[in-house]
């Protein structure tokens, strides 16, 4: 809804009221219409101010309403009503003006923003475009290139930048509503006619065609098959037409996006990112019943790539850090690398680098005086255990002990300490100061407070933290295993790395499975597999009675560790080179391998690559839910979109399974399992069967079919 009052004698003040972000629900839209009528019919009122309740102008259209039939007045005529008002209307922008919120502000005749306000049109992240006139008014106000940038990236603009761009008329550090009221008084006698953006011509640009062409090319490259970014460019292109025609084009494009599965997927992802914050543990402990401990000082042990990124992320979150590394050369290199990362980050954010927040050590002693330790040494259980033993002896009571591990048993590490309840896994993703995902892994003895503290620290570091149970590979890497496995089997059966990667990249992954393996290094998984004992000789393709592909191991034996060695599944021009080229050596190697093992190469098509890789991965996701390692499908989907480059416009693997149809996924898995009975990951899991028998409920209902989560090893 919206509230109305008359202030300073002649200013009608309309306050949008829909906590927490004053989203433009049907009631708010109706409120704007009613309160505008009131202000316009009140003869004492000479000008109007629109503001938002509780320091937030407006977070945009109410996204929750998108999934049900529309009620109440439409946003476009509501904004047109504001723009065509005969009395000047001023938007008082505090907090955020996003999406429909900014579109409403663009319908006002003046915009006053608080210096800390953020403005933007982030609809592209929801699979949409600014469809309430935003794609037509913004370019008219600030020009096509700036509008294209804001609309296609969906980025938030600071008040300072907004002023520079001409998006707002004034920025203030004072009370924004008071300033807007003063401003409204000063313009009360002026006609709003010349301030209606819809009447502006689109500003001239010497080579608009080249601008659109360049942006469209960039957008298509980045979009990975997403429709919205392309539609955003098309909508802005229509701003060169008369306003009414541009609006019609905006409407057509919006209608296509609105009904697309992509918009549904991206809106699901929006809410899933928020849902994972409401974590729970097998004991019943929950996010809203557990208070995290504030972390002021932390120690990072091991300054390889991960330790450096973690240190930077902690410092940027305002935490004092002791960064520790025993190897002198590594320590020196890390100091330099961390300082320059901090300097670059500070420059980007327009602040001073917090170099004084970090100090370095070559021994463990400072651990005695910190609130939390993140161990980030090499992924080796014996080494990590030793570190945890030392920490247990050194740390003051109450210090949280966290391991940055990508899949090792957190319970084993905890058992090396006197305080297993204070031990959790914190699985960061490289580069740790950039990637948004954090898996927080609770062991069987982790206390709710340890989990709450790690979750909150992750949030403070700008991450989306997902609490997961303890099992090999946790959620992300556990699901990666059957996916990789299928890719290897497909090579054995006749596919090439280039073809498999092409299919997966067309699906929307940033990189296919083989390019990704080359980038992360083939030796990492090899070392883990060797520790488990590799099969050899005639049994090379069988492990524990099941089909096993030794291809990755054989490549590593040849010193082909991927991009860093210049050779892996592809060849590169030099070690560390970035351009992957098909390698004739590999082709020859695969042919010899097939001959040696009596395999006959067959033609493998696009559908088989997609189904075998993705359905095996999804099947493992169902198992993870069944085992209680993830509390719900949203947790898995957030992990895959934010950590494993799953395309956001496909929602995540569990959402995608529901989109494809659970029945179809089940049937295809049954088919492939019949063809390959020696591959257990293709055997459909019970939860999938149960969901199909129950009529394939939507993903939002799956939690009702899950057992209480529990830690399983």
**Catalytic annotation, residues:** 103, 123
Q: How many CB atoms lie within 10 A of CB 15?
A: 20
**How far apart are alpha carbons 639 and 55 in whole angstroms?**
32
Which are the contacts of 56, defined by CB distance < 8 A and separation ≥ 6? 20, 21, 22, 94, 95, 96
At residue 323's C-alpha, the angle toward residues 317 and 329, to 5°, is 135
Taking CB under 6 A as the criterion, the residue among 14, 39, 85, 98 binding ligand L2IWW6SD is 98
Q: Which of residues 266-285 bind ligand L2IWW6SD (CB under 6 A)?
A: 271, 274
- Pick between residue 10 and residue 234 the one whose CB is nearest to ligand L2IWW6SD: 234
Q: Alpha carbon 425 to chain centroid distance?
A: 20
Of the two residues 62 and 620, which places its CB atom closer to ligand L2IWW6SD in the complex?
62
Helix (H, G, I), strand (E, B) or coil at 291: coil
The number of helices, as runs of H, and strands, as runs of E, in the chain is 28, 19
Stretch near ligand L2IWW6SD under the rule CB under 6 A, chosen from 121-129, 203-211, 511-519, 652-660: 121-129
What is the C-alpha to C-alpha distance for residues 580 and 569, in angstroms, rounded to an integer? 9
Q: Is 21 in the site for ligand L2IWW6SD (CB under 6 A)?
A: yes
CA angle 639, 454, 458 (to 5 degrees): 55
236 touching ligand L2IWW6SD, by CB under 6 A: no
Min dist CB 559 to ligand L2IWW6SD, Å, is 47
Please tell me whether residue 83 binds ligand L2IWW6SD under the rule CB under 6 A.
Answer: no
Size of the site for ligand L2IWW6SD (CB under 6 A): 23
CA distances from 167 to 3, 170, 191, 201 (A): 26, 9, 20, 16
The only residue of 123, 409, 416, 498 in contact with ligand L2IWW6SD, by rule CB under 6 A:
123
Distance CA 564, CA 572 (A): 9
| The one among 2, 14, 23, 263 contacting ligand L2IWW6SD by CB under 6 A | 23
Residue 95 beta carbon to ligand L2IWW6SD: minimum distance, rounded to whole angstroms = 8
Q: Report the residue number, 65 or 178, with the smaller CB distance to ligand L2IWW6SD.
A: 65
**One of 12, 107, 131, 458 touching ligand L2IWW6SD (CB under 6 A):** 131
Q: Which stretch binds ligand L2IWW6SD (CB under 6 A): 127-135, 185-193, 574-582, 650-658?
A: 127-135
Determine contact, residues 216/237, Cβ cutoff 8 Å. no
Residue 476 neighbours by CB distance under 10 Å: 22
Near ligand L2IWW6SD by CB under 6 A: residue from 3, 64, 77, 289 = 64
Shortest distance, position 434 Cβ to ligand L2IWW6SD, whole Å: 19
Closest C-alpha to 656, from 219, 282, 123, 225: 225
Is 418 near ligand L2IWW6SD (CB under 6 A)? Answer: no
Report d(CA 10, CA 17) in Å as an integer: 22
The one segment of 123-131, 358-366, 383-391, 478-486 that binds ligand L2IWW6SD by CB under 6 A: 123-131
Cβ-based burial of 283 (10 A; exposed 0-12, middle 13-18, buried ≥19): middle
Nearer to ligand L2IWW6SD, 62 or 94 (CB): 62
Q: Which of 31, 52, 59, 621 binds ligand L2IWW6SD (CB under 6 A)?
A: 59
Closest contact distance (angstroms) between CB of 271 and ligand L2IWW6SD is: 5
491 binds ligand L2IWW6SD (CB under 6 A): no
Contact between 69 and ligand L2IWW6SD per CB under 6 A: no
127 binding ligand L2IWW6SD? (CB under 6 A): no
d(CA 400, CA 421): 9
Query: What is the CA 538 to chain-centroid distance, rounded?
Result: 44
Measured N-to-C along each axis, helices 522-532 and 513-520 cross at an angle, to the nearest 10 degrees, of 80
Q: Is 100 in the site for ligand L2IWW6SD (CB under 6 A)?
A: yes
Residue 550 lies near ligand L2IWW6SD (rule: CB under 6 A) = no
662-675 vs 686-693: helix crossing angle, rounded to 10: 140
Run of H or E residues at 312: helix 305-316
The CA-CA-CA angle for residues 381, 337, 571, to 5°, reads 70
- Using CB under 6 A as the binding rule, whether residue 9 contacts ligand L2IWW6SD is answered as no
Site for ligand L2IWW6SD in 577-606 (CB under 6 A): none
Is 131 in contact with 236 (CB distance < 8 Å)?
no
Residues within the interface to ligand L2IWW6SD (CB under 6 A): 20-21, 23, 59-64, 75, 96, 98-100, 122-123, 126, 128, 130-132, 271, 274
């Amino acid at each position: 809804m919206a509230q109305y009052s008359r202030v300073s004698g002649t200013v009608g003040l309309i306050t949008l009221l829909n906590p927490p972000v004053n989203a433009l629900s049907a009631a708010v839209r109706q409120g704007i219409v009613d309160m505008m009528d009131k202000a316009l019919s009140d003869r004492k009122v000479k000008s109007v101010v629109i503001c938002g309740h509780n320091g937030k102008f407006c977070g945009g259209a109410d996204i929750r309403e998108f999934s049900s039939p529309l009620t109440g007045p439409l946003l476009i005529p509501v904004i047109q009503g504001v723009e065509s008002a005969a009395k000047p209307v001023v938007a008082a922008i505090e907090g955020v003006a996003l999406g429909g919120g900014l579109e409403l502000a663009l319908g006002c005749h003046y915009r006053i923003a608080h210096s800390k306000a953020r403005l933007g049109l982030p609809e592209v992240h929801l699979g949409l475009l600014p469809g309430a006139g935003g794609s037509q008014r913004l370019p008219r106000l600030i020009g096509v290139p700036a509008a294209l940038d804001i609309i296609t990236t969906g980025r938030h603009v600071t008040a300072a930048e907004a002023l520079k761009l001409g998006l707002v008329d004034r920025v203030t550090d004072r009370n924004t509503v008071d300033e807007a009221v003063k401003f409204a008084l000063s313009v009360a006698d002026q006609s709003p006619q010349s301030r209606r953006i819809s009447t502006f011509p689109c500003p001239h640009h010497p080579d608009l065609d080249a601008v659109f062409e360049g942006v469209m090319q960039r957008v298509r490259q980045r979009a990975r098959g997403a429709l919205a970014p392309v539609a955003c460019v098309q909508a802005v292109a229509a701003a060169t037409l008369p306003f009414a025609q541009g609006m019609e084009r905006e409407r057509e494009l919006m209608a296509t996006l609105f009904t697309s599965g992509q918009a549904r997927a991206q809106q699901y992802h929006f809410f899933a990112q928020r849902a994972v914050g409401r974590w729970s543990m097998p004991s019943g402990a929950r996010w809203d019943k557990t208070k995290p401990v504030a972390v002021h000082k932390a120690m990072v042990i091991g300054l390889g790539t991960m330790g450096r990124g973690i240190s930077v992320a902690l410092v940027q979150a305002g935490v004092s850090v002791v960064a520790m590394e025993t190897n002198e050369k590594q320590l020196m290199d890390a100091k330099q690398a961390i300082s320059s990362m901090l300097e670059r980050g500070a420059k980007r954010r327009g602040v001073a680098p917090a170099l004084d927040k970090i100090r370095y050590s070559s021994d463990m002693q400072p651990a005695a005086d910190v609130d939390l330790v993140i161990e980030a040494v090499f992924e080796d259980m014996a080494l990590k255990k030793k570190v945890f033993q030392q920490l247990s002896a050194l740390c003051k009571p109450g210090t949280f002990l966290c391991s940055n591990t990508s899949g090792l048993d957190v319970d084993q590490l905890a058992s090396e300490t006197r305080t297993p309840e204070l031990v959790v896994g914190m699985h960061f993703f490289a580069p740790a100061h950039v990637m948004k995902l954090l898996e927080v892994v609770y062991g069987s003895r982790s206390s709710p407070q340890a989990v709450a503290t790690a979750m909150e620290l992750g949030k403070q570091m700008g991450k989306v933290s997902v609490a997961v149970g303890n099992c090999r590979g946790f959620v992300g890497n556990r699901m990666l295993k059957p996916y990789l496995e299928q890719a290897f089997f497909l090579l054995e059966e006749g596919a090439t790395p280039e073809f498999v990667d092409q299919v997966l990249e067309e699906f929307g992954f940033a990189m296919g499975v083989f390019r990704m393996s080359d980038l992360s290094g083939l030796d990492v998984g090899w070392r883990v597999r060797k520790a488990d004992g590799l099969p050899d000789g005639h049994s090379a393709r069988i492990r524990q009675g099941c089909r096993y592909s030794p291809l990755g191991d054989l490549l590593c034996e040849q010193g082909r560790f991927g991009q860093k060695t210049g050779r892996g599944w592809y060849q590169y021009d030099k070690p560390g080179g970035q351009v992957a080229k098909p390698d004739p050596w590999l082709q020859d190697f695969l042919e010899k391998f097939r001959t040696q093992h009596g395999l006959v190469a067959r033609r493998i098509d696009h559908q088989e690559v997609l189904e075998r890789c993705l359905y095996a991965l999804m099947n493992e996701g169902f198992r993870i839910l069944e085992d209680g390692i993830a509390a719900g499908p949203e947790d898995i989907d957030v992990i895959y979109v934010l950590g494993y480059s799953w395309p956001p416009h496909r929602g995540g693997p569990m959402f995608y399974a529901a989109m494809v149809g659970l029945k179809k996924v089940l049937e295809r898995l049954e088919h492939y399992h019949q063809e390959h009975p020696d591959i257990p990951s293709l055997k459909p899991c019970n939860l999938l069967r149960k969901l199909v028998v129950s009529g394939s409920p939507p993903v939002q209902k799956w939690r009702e079919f899950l057992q209480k989560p529990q830690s399983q090893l």
